[in-house]
Amino acid sequence: MQDDLTERAAPSRNVGRAHRIFVIIVAAVVGLDQVTKVWAARRLPGDPIRLLGSWLELEYAENTGAAFSMLQGRGAFLGVAAVAAVMIIAAAVTRLDRTSEVVAVSLIAGGAIGNLLDRMTRGEGFLDGFVVDFVRLWWIPNFNVADSAITIGAATMVALALFVPQERT
């Protein structure tokens, strides 16, 4: 953990390392997200799988909005916002001081790209496609791997900001 907090020694090495971490995590999240969505779209419609009673189910759903089904029908807006977020994250990733920050923003970018791919490929117009959601946990609306990555990445960034001291420069 100490290395994570003080890895400022070799900036050029850290830039390359940050890029590698970013690419690996983004590719892993997008790949896992898309594979699970293809499986869910083929296997689950009309036949949900109960894993832990009504507490955890795999149930197919199509979401044209954002998290918790907000902004329904605003796919183009959400798609453009996702592209902007990924561009900002990709540009900023080399400026991050900690590996944990790079991992967190990489999870967010991977999730944004995963859901963006759905919007691009599951509709007829510009970014008007739906996102495949298939995990239903207790009272939480259906979500997917991309949503989970975004949530974990955002929660990690908040935790780092609140609980990990910043070095003064």
Distances (CA, A) of 154 to 38, 107, 112, 116: 25, 8, 12, 18
Instruction: Specify whether 97 is catalytic.
Output: no
Question: Cα–Cα–Cα angle for 10, 14, 15, nearest 5°?
Answer: 120
**Which residue reads 């995990």 in tokens?**
135
Q: Exactly one of 4, 97, 118, 147 is catalytic; name it.
A: 147
Instruction: Specify whether 33 is catalytic.
Output: no
Q: What number of other Cβ atoms are within 10 A of residue 105's Cβ?
A: 27
- CA-nearest of 112, 90, 116 to 21 is 90
Q: Which residues are catalytic?
A: 133, 147
